[in-house]
Amino acid sequence: MPATFSLSGNAGTTGVGIATVNLSGDAVASILTAPNGTYQFSNLIAGSYIVTPILAGHFFSPASRSVIVVNANIEGVDFIDPPQLSQFGLGLSLVRRNWK
């Protein structure tokens, strides 16, 4: 049986809500953060993964992170949820103009 490892970090969402964190690559999974923003994927085999946090109305930095698990648990896969973007509800909107 192959060795397994964990991958953990903080989505940066303390006090603003519970985020979903998606994992893709050599395994696919989704989990919810704890109220303090932390998350952990367990029982991962060695491989390449992409971690992406999601919370409606929030824009994370970076948007996703690539991680390679070799022979150890990976900690500190952290994100920032900048308050200047999410707290004030700023986002992108598209404006349609009819040009004649």
Handedness of CA 81, 86, 90, 96 (dihedral sign): positive
pLDDT values of the chain reduced to their tens digit, one per residue, 100 residues: 889 999 999 999 887 889 999 999 999 999 999 999 999 999 999 999 999 999 988 889 999 999 999 999 999 999 998 764 444 444 444 444 444 4
User: What is the count of structural domains for the chain?
Assistant: 1
Per the domain annotation, does 95 fall within a domain? no
d(CA 15, CA 26): 32
Q: What is the span of the domain harbouring residue 17?
A: 5-84
Beta strands 38-44 and 29-32, pairing class: unpaired
Per the domain annotation, does 40 fall within a domain? yes
Q: Residue 87: which of 57, 52, 46, 48 has the closest Cα?
A: 57
